[in-house]
Amino acid sequence: MAAGLQAPKPQDLLAVEGMKIGTASAGIRKPGKRDLLVMQFDAGSVAAGVFTRNRFCAAPVHVCRKHLTESKGSIRALVVNTGNANAGTGQAGLLMAQETCEHLASMLELVPSQVLPFSTGVILEPLPLERLIAGLPEALQAADMGSDGWLEAAEAIMTTDTLPKAASMAIETGGKRYHLSGISKGAGMIRPNMATMLAVMVCDAAIEPELLGRWLRDINAQSFNRITVDGDTSTNDSFLLVSTGAKSSSTAQVIDNDAHPDAAALKQAMVLMAKKLAQAIVRDGEGASKFIAVQVEQAASDEEAAQVAYAIAHSPLVKTAFFASDPNLGRILCAVGYAGIDDLDVQRVELFLDDVHVVTQGGRHPAYREEDGQRVMKQQDIAVRVALGRGHAQTTVWTCDFSHDYVSINADYRS
């Protein structure tokens, strides 16, 4: 059902030097599903992460934050389980996330703070720690699969996703060729506030930790923080960016500021990949049949632009109209009206659906014909553009439609 999304082709994915990937079927929730992922990073690797702002954030999110601080980003491994979110599990859940790290650390001869844990799945149920730990040897044995690993990794982190999400890019700059590969997952409970459900991007450049962190926040703001499926900010959202440094032979080559000759090309590639992985989550949103870009322009501030874009992107009425390919476009105006801009002058509002001018000066455009709206609504990819006539700020939020399948998927998720 995914809206214009295809599974990544194995030959399009690139191995990243300085890391290994392994997966296993640990039977966390259901037997036979690949539900455990371990990534190992060579010494000298640097990681930066952003996490959900949900106050009920999951135990692994707490541990990730702690370990990133303690290790100053010198992360050597990460472990992901699906099937159980280890959220709403209190002190016991926290201990289990820590024990997971301790076990993996001792198997790899690391200190626990060099390991990051991630969980995704059902909330409020105890993590089956023993099954997770029992699965680790299989994941380590399977490690080092080169580029094939990325596809398996993408599969291992799927929950209600219908397709794995992975991407790779080669960046040639300054006589060097860097590899950047990444995976993401999503599907439901998607309105990231800091980062998406789970995304990991790894490159083999050497990037100074503080710069990596700054890049991560910039990249995140333009990608994972601009998607929404259902407006529910998950307890487990995490986005991790790792640089292994394997392609940099000396400390002189470390990229430590934006003026470094390789910086612009690398960062641009990271932004592109993050957008691609974020948009893949929306295209594979639960029950999605349409991919909608909501662009708000002429806003007085970035916050205001986002406020209006999210009001449209979250409206169940707007989303069901897209599902039905019904140009019931008054629903979009209605959402603009309740977005919370108290001094909005509706007479200055313009609305476009792709190239079709629907609303001018707050009312139906005289030249607007229902069949033009209908034509665009039938497309799989649709752009909604709203101009507020208040200033120069703008933003784009990506979302999907709201279908029968969303209800089916979420009514049946645990059964």
Query: Residues with catalytic annotation?
Result: 196
Least distance in Å: CB of 230 to a second copy? 5
Beta carbon nearer to a second copy, 135 or 285: 285
Q: Using the rule CB under 8 A, is 328 a contact of a second copy?
A: yes
Least distance in Å: CB of 160 to a second copy? 11
Q: Using the rule CB under 8 A, is 93 a contact of a second copy?
A: yes
Q: Using the rule CB under 8 A, is 233 a contact of a second copy?
A: yes
List Cβ neighbours of 88 (8 Å cut-off, separation of 6 or more): 56, 123, 124, 235
Least distance in Å: CB of 341 to a second copy? 7
Rounded CA separation 161/196 (Å): 14
Secondary structure element (H or E) that encloses residue 65, with its range = helix 59-70
**Position 97, amino acid:** A
Angle between helices 302-314 and 316-323 (to 10 degrees): 60
Q: How many CA atoms lie within 13 A of 54 on its CB side?
A: 23
Q: Using the rule CB under 8 A, is 371 a contact of a second copy?
A: no
Using the contact rule CB under 8 A, the part of the chain among 41-49, 159-167, 205-213, 312-320 near a second copy is 312-320
Q: Using the rule CB under 8 A, is 300 a contact of a second copy?
A: no
Rounded CA separation 191/88 (Å): 19
Least distance in Å: CB of 66 to a second copy? 16
Beta carbon nearer to a second copy, 357 or 413: 413
Using the contact rule CB under 8 A, the part of the chain among 12-20, 161-169, 178-186, 340-348 near a second copy is 340-348
Rounded CA separation 24/21 (Å): 11
Q: Where are the beta strands (DSSP E) in 278-415?
A: 291-299, 350-353, 356-360, 363-364, 381-387, 393-400
Least distance in Å: CB of 389 to a second copy? 13
Order the strands of the 19-24 sheet from edge to edge: 19-24, 36-41, 77-84, 115-122
Q: Using the rule CB under 8 A, is 298 a contact of a second copy?
A: no
Q: How far is CA 376 from CA 192, 329, 380, in A?
A: 28, 12, 9
Q: Using the rule CB under 8 A, is 161 a contact of a second copy?
A: no
Q: How many CB atoms lie within 10 A of CB 92?
A: 12
Coil, helix or strand at residue 388: coil
Beta carbon nearer to a second copy, 89 or 181: 89
Q: Using the rule CB under 8 A, is 301 a contact of a second copy?
A: no
Q: How far is CA 80 from CA 139, 153, 319, in A?
A: 11, 10, 32
Least distance in Å: CB of 15 to a second copy? 36
Q: Using the rule CB under 8 A, is 367 a contact of a second copy?
A: no
Among 1, 300, 346, 393, binds a second copy (CB under 8 A): 346
Residues of span 170-199 touching a second copy by CB under 8 A: 188-189, 191, 193
Angle between helices 330-337 and 302-314 (to 10 degrees): 130
Q: Using the rule CB under 8 A, is 31 a contact of a second copy?
A: no
Beta carbon nearer to a second copy, 41 or 402: 402
The per-residue DSSP string of 114-164 comes to GEEEEEEEESSS---HHHHHHHHHHHHHT---TTHHHHHHHHHT-SS-SS-
Beta carbon nearer to a second copy, 88 or 209: 88
Beta carbon nearer to a second copy, 149 or 285: 285
What residues make contact with a second copy under the rule CB under 8 A? 53-57, 85, 87-93, 122-126, 188-189, 191, 193, 230-235, 314-317, 320-321, 323-324, 326, 328-331, 333-338, 341-342, 344, 346-347, 349, 359, 361-364, 402-404, 406-408, 410-415
